[in-house]
Amino acid sequence: MSKRSRSGSGPRPSGLPRSARLIRNARDLYAAGDILDTRMPCRATYLTDPVLGGMQPAAVDRQGRLAADRSGTVEPVPAVLFEPVQTVLMQNTVSGVMQEARVEAAIAAGFGRVTASPVLAIRPAAGWEVRRVPGGLVLRDATGDVWASGQIILDPAWVSAAVSYRHVAVFLAPKLGVRTPPGMTQAAYTTQRRAAEFRRGRAEGIVAGATVAWRGEPAEETLEWLTFLPGSLGQPFAGVFAPTSVFTAHGGAELFGLSLLGDNDLCMPATVLPTLAARVSRTDVDIIDAGAAEADRHIGGVHYGEGVAAAWRKAARRHGVILLLTGPRMPGTPAASRASNDENLASLWAGLISVELA
């Protein structure tokens, strides 16, 4: 999922939050990449939380389906609330209704819309998962794309419930009562105010929810994008590692001409691929299909709110190319065993690609 940060042109409709940006067309959506910034505040709680409306106690079966608990004896269903910092609004060209772009995308990909109905009904999202990673949680879809990630310290009782049910409830929306509003202290942002925020989000149709599989075991693959400076892996170029899922969704890295290092005695490629390019801005590194029409060029990318490291951008500009790597996982730290690093290297696909500076 890629990230950019420019708003659409034209007059701003009245009544929109100051932090919102309006999406009128595909070009605006491509430009407003904050919609795809996966890092966001999150909160771990239970479906019985008063902020969520004090839902009737429920249990979840092995398929992730909720069922009311009238015995009062089962442990509450664990829930995760992911609340994006940026609201990205788009206008339905048929109905004229304003919609939240990230929420609509999640619903199209398997989540359900959580309405203002008295019953908080959510259904399983096939293939989705919440995975525990060092220091936090990650929400991924069936293709492996990361939709949300947050830093959080989990209570052992919450983890125990997630392990027991093998599923957790997930809500993704800009109005979940997670972030304390600007100008308000945390103490003043009471449970009642948080609950009111959640009700408003449901009433506006901008809350996506589902039950998804829980994965508490350490991830065996590298899930995040990584950049690395010249000299890394014994080669002279700045580089970027893209998770496997970025290319899996497009048929695989080999379709774009990347080489499997295990088939080349771990030797890095020496020629520049004509099929791919890197579009680099102050905050973004995006991999694009060099031969596709503009609307279809995007393969995947990463957004750094604090900006791409200056030394990395300088090296990319100087050489005009970067090394692209993708695969299950990056080699470990220098302290890792030589055999372990070589095994990881052998599973990587690699290619030199040209740089387009934005």
Tens of pLDDT along 181-200? 888 999 999 999 999 999 99
Give the model confidence (pLDDT) of 50-99 as tens digits.
Answer: 998 866 555 666 666 766 665 555 688 899 999 998 877 776 667 767 78
Give the CB-side neighbour count of residue 337, counting CA atoms within 13 A: 3
**Which of the four pLDDT bands, split at 50, 70 and 90, describes residue 32?**
low
pLDDT at 60: 67
**Contact by Cβ (8 Å): 67, 122:** no
More confident residue, 29 or 341: 341
Question: What is the predicted pLDDT for the residue at 159?
Answer: 93
> Could you give the maximum distance between any two Cα atoms of the chain, in Å?
68
Residue of 143, 115, 338, 127 lying closest to 252 (CA atoms): 143
pLDDT digits (tens, 9 = 90+) for 82-91: 999 887 777 6
| Confidence check: pLDDT of 31 > 80 | no
**Separation between Cα atoms, residue 2 and residue 5, nearest integer Å:** 10
- The answer to whether residue 28 scores a pLDDT higher than 60 is no
Q: What pLDDT sits at residue 67?
A: 66
Examine the pLDDT at 129 and tell me if it is beyond 70: yes
In angstroms, rounded to a whole number, what is the distance separating the alpha carbons of residues 341 and 262? 12
Confidence of residue 2 (pLDDT cuts 50, 70, 90): very low
Neighbours of 236 (CB within 10 A): 11
Alpha-carbon gap, residue 36 to 304, rounded angstroms: 11
Average pLDDT over residues 306-328: 93
Residues 218-242, mean pLDDT to the nearest whole number: 87
Give the lowest-confidence range in 71-75, 95-99, 228-232, 349-353.
71-75
- Whether 276 and 353 have beta carbons less than 8 Å apart is answered as yes
Q: Phi/psi at 269 (nearest 5 deg)? A: -65, 155
Least confident of 146-150, 247-251, 260-264, 338-342: 338-342
Give 355's contacts (C-beta < 8 A, 6+ positions apart). Answer: 277, 278, 280, 316, 317, 319, 320, 321, 322
Give the pLDDT confidence score for residue 335 in this predicted structure: 45
- Is a pLDDT exceeding 50 seen at residue 16? no
Q: By 3-state DSSP, what share of the chain in percent is helix, strand and coil, each rounded to 5?
A: 25, 30, 45
- Alpha-carbon distance of 92 to 16, in angstroms, equals 15
- The whole-number pLDDT of residue 287 equals 93
Q: Which residues contact 177 (CB under 8 A, 6 or more apart)?
A: 51, 81, 83, 189, 193, 194, 195, 197, 198
Question: Is 275 within 8 Å of 324 (Cβ atoms)?
Answer: no
Residue 9 scores a pLDDT above 50 = no
List pLDDT tens digits, range 156-175.
999 999 999 999 999 999 99
Least confident of 217-221, 265-269, 292-296, 334-338: 334-338
Question: CA nearest 210: which of 1, 41, 47, 2?
Answer: 47
Alpha helix segments (H runs only) across the chain: 26-31, 101-108, 156-165, 191-203, 244-248, 310-319, 338-346
The reported pLDDT for the residue numbered 26 is 46
Cβ neighbors of 48 (< 8 A, separation 6 or more) are 54, 55, 57, 76
Share of the chain above pLDDT 70, in %: 79
∠ at Cα 166 (162, 167), nearest 5°? 75
Query: CA-CA distance, 197 to 182, in Å (whole number)?
Result: 14
Mean pLDDT of the chain: 82
Asked whether 246 and 255 are in contact (CB, 8 A), the reply is no
Lowest mean pLDDT: which of 33-47, 272-286, 299-313, 331-345? 331-345
Q: Look at residue 22 in the predicted model and tell me its pLDDT.
A: 55
Question: What are 138's two structure tokens?
Answer: 């990650």
